[in-house]
Amino acid sequence: MERLSKLIIRSCDISEIEIGRTPWDIILTRTRLRNLTSVIITGCNGLKDLMWLLFVPNLTHLELQCLEKVEEIISEEKVSSSITDEPKARGMNTPFQKLERLELINLPRLKRIYWSPLIFPCLKKIVVEKCPKLRKLPLSFKRIVLVVVKNLL
């Protein structure tokens, strides 16, 4: 898993992608996922939670499509109920610091990406399409990026 750079999950029945239950598991997982730069998940209708993306520090491309049950990409409630109250102790940092491309397509229940504004220092492109419940993007950036928003309603 240490050499994994791209993860594609398509048309499956999984309801959760679990990353460790103890601080040691999470530290090991974060180290092992350091080469993962691209995540594409599509057609996994049972999937509700994507909190594990916090453990992918070098993510540059995130594409989520046709995930019927996802309401939040990273839920504050899920993060705060994990292992400990101290994010650094869980091996988590601010998410998406290296993200260049974000694509959110046909996510009918998606309400939020993250609970507070995020600085996307590397972001170049955002595509949001058919996400009727997504009312705002948690963006806090200082440069222009291409944002494509289609059929929000």
Domain spans, the chain: 6-147
Closest CA to 113 of 150, 74, 152, 142: 74
| pLDDT recorded at residue 149 | 64
Average pLDDT of the chain is 80
**Prediction pTM value:** 0.81
Q: Which of 26-30, 59-63, 146-150 has the highest mean pLDDT?
A: 59-63
Q: With cut-offs at 50, 70 and 90, classify the pLDDT of residue 121.
A: confident
Architecture of domain 6-147: Alpha-Beta Horseshoe (3.80)
Collapsed DSSP state (helix, strand, coil) of residue 29: helix
